[in-house]
């Protein structure tokens, strides 16, 4: 469940182990956070030609289990039921900002601890980095920006003036036989 970068890579790994895979994507095309509709639809066709079944606009509504507790099927909101022996969810990250909210630290209305270019929150001596940090109204669950934020915070703690300049959202799909790279502003915004 989830047709983003990590979901595709997990589906590819399962396929390489001779598992029949149905990839479910809530949106209309794969990698919808990185690719525009045309590129995403091309990727849908390429992935489909590799033997991976892709279902788009597929919203999971429930899982059913057998008497022993093992998954037996997955239901979609459109009423379709798919038999399943295993279900892998790769549906993104949400910032775990409850501690910050409970402490009165400023958070974005959609989640994430608000930070400035120095990775400072609105509370003295408190920094936030990684997927919990909201910079320029955006939280990103990628490791590279988290490392960059960690460097800025460490430099600031040592008295420096480093600044986080923003997220590098370039991505590369690591799936055998499928080369996809995304960089720049894929949505022309």
Q: What are phi and psi of 131, to 5 degrees?
A: -70, -15
pLDDT tens per residue, range 66-96: 999 999 999 999 999 999 999 999 987 789 9
> In the predicted model, what is the mean pLDDT of residues 20-36?
90
Q: What is the pLDDT of residue 125?
A: 93
Q: Residue 185: pLDDT above 70? A: no
> In the predicted model, what is the mean pLDDT of residues 52-69?
94
145-147-152 Cα angle (round to 5): 95
> In the predicted model, what is the mean pLDDT of residues 1-13?
90
Instruction: Return the structure tokens found at 15.
Output: 């396929």
Q: Residue 183: pLDDT above 80? A: no
Between 185 and 81, residue with greater pLDDT: 81
Q: What is the pLDDT of residue 169?
A: 65
pLDDT tens per residue, range 133-182: 999 998 887 788 899 999 999 999 999 999 999 887 666 666 766 777 66
Q: Is 72 helix (H, G, I), strand (E, B) or coil?
A: strand
Q: What is the pLDDT of residue 93?
A: 79
Report the DSSP beta bridge partners of residue 171. Answer: 182
């Amino acid at each position: 469940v989830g047709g983003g970068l990590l979901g595709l890579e997990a589906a590819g790994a399962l396929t390489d182990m001779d598992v029949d895979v149905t990839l479910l994507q809530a949106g209309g095309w794969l990698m919808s956070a990185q690719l525009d509709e045309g590129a995403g639809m091309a990727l849908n066709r390429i992935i489909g030609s590799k033997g991976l079944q892709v279902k788009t606009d597929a919203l999971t509504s429930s899982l059913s289990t057998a008497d022993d507790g093992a998954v037996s099927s997955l239901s979609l909101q459109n009423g379709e039921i798919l038999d399943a022996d295993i279900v892998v969810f790769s549906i993104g990250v949400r910032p775990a900002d409850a501690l910050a909210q409970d402490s009165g630290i400023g958070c974005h209305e959609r989640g994430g601890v608000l930070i400035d270019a120095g990775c400072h929150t609105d509370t003295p001596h408190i920094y936030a980095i990684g997927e919990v940090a909201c910079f320029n109204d955006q939280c990103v669950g990628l490791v590279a920006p988290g490392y960059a934020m960690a460097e800025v915070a460490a430099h600031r703690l040592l008295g420096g003036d480093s600044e986080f300049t923003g997220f590098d959202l370039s991505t590369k799909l690591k799936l055998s036989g499928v080369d996809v790279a995304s960089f720049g502003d894929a949505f022309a915004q």
